[in-house]
Amino acid sequence: MRTMPPSHPFDDDKLKEECGVFGAVGVTDAASFIALGLHALQHRGQEAGGIVTYDPEAGFHSARRFGYVRDNFTSQKVMETLPGSIGIGHVRYSTAGSKGTTAIRDVQPFFGEFAMGGAAIAHNGNITNAEALRRELIERGSIFQSSSDSECIIHLMARSLQRNIPERMKDALRRVEGAFSVVAMTRTKLIGVRDPRGVRPLVLGKVGDKGYVLSSETCALDIIGAEFVREIEPGEMVVISDTGKVTSSKPFEQQASRFCIFEHVYFSRPDSILEGRSVYETRHQIGVELAKEAPVEADLVCPVPDSGTPAAIGYAHESGIPYGMGIIRNQYMGRTFIEPSEQIRNMGVRLKLNVNRALIRDKRIILVDDSVVRGTTSRKIKDMLLDAGAAEVHFRIASPPTMWPCFYGVDTPDRDKLLAAKMSVEEMRDYLGVDSLQFISLDGLYRAAGVAAGRDPKAPRYCDACFSGEYPVVPSDMIAKGFEMKTAAE
């Protein structure tokens, strides 16, 4: 086992995406394309990464490493071990399996050898019935190599009676509950699948005449100069051959789409396109809606960098209050900078963020952040502003209160660790010690995401369970452990 500390104590108070996936077929030196794609997706997982490729002369090749893509997959020595024109890759932040104590065997992609040849898979999301499936498979003789929920897919494929790998994958994924965007590969085919509700993203891009890529986000297409073709639809499987042929099928029972709204708020990069909308523009519009819903007299609008920046710009634009970089982020605070002692840990935020004293002194500050999870970082940032001479501090949050854990691929604390699950907004304001605190409403968030009428409580457009407690897929494993879902009275 190897323990990977968070990149900084500041990051402990943010929600974490589980991972990013990327695949390429029909290109010379697929591993280089994949490494560049994973680098663009690094924000989705910094704990570890892996690449699997296939070369007809030498077979399947795999490299899995802890840490950043730039530190592992830019080495010529490593990349020479990954020949071939087809491959898949994965960057990981653990939500299932051994959180924080990841073994190398937990790092994806996972590989399996079947009667019709080998296959590898990489998975973004969370399987909510993984523990029940795992018990069943072990009782039937399966031997697991990792603690990851994603390995269940390989074992289910091994037990399928179908004659080719795409059909075996369909069989396996029909048994799976929860959220999944999967990229997989055989010797000649690249496969992409989204769950029937399309909770997690997956897009298709084209490179040259017959090269294709699959990616969690469009920003990874830009880095390799790929043309965006389209999003993989909820419940769709695409199979792309090494000759450039693309086939599509819908192997699952149709469900209402419930894309994760927090992808718009925080997870995706602002230069990505989601559902035909610019993530940056959506976040800017969140700030506009927030200014309409929660105005306050102040002298300066400041973001908590970097995730609060587009919303702060939108708030300033709508309110007419000047925008300023009242907090500066240290871009070079690395994961291995220091092994934090208790004293250094308490300095946490100051190592990553510093107040622009000359700008904020004697001013009433509106501080815009994407979310409040535990509230520990928010308190420290408020203290920094007051210590630097701010006259008032008003928090405006670009998402509704995070009151419920996510079971679909996000590392959310237990519910009793979520500040908004224990306190009212006024109690949170007192706890944080700020002059005012307001969150965007769920309706306002939907309007910012392009749903003009707001949230339809009978048929929500998005998965917003972390805010509403309404889970589109019952988290079977958690229910078995005693997790109490929201009742009608709540």
Annotated catalytic residues are: 19
Alpha carbons 195 and 200: distance in angstroms, whole number: 8
Distances (CA, A) of 8 to 46, 176, 455: 12, 34, 35
* Cα angle 237, 219, 228; round to 5: 50
3-state secondary structure of 396: strand
Alpha carbons 186 and 204: distance in angstroms, whole number: 18
For 410-421, b/e burial (b = at least 16 CB within 10 A) is bbbbebeebbbb
Q: Where are the alpha helices (DSSP H) in 188-341?
A: 219-223, 262, 279-293, 309-319
* Residue 219 in tokens: 């920003």
Alpha carbons 72 and 135: distance in angstroms, whole number: 35
Question: Helices (H) and strands (E) in the chain — how many of each?
Answer: 18, 25
Could you check whether the bond before residue 322 is cis, i.e. omega within 30 degrees of 0? no
Q: Where are the alpha helices (DSSP H) in 18-103?
A: 30-40, 69-72, 76-79
Determine how many CB atoms are found less than 10 A away from the CB of residue 67.
Answer: 14
Alpha carbons 179 and 339: distance in angstroms, whole number: 35
Dihedral sign computed on CA atoms, order 233, 234, 235, 238? positive
Q: Where are the alpha helices (DSSP H) in 41-164?
A: 69-72, 76-79, 130-139, 151-159
Alpha carbons 123 and 216: distance in angstroms, whole number: 10
DSSP bridge pairs for 231: 203
Does residue 375 come out as left (phi exceeding 0), alpha (psi in the -120 to 50 range) or beta? left
185 residue type, one letter:
M
Most distant CA pair in the chain, distance: 72
Dihedral sign computed on CA atoms, order 404, 407, 411, 415? positive
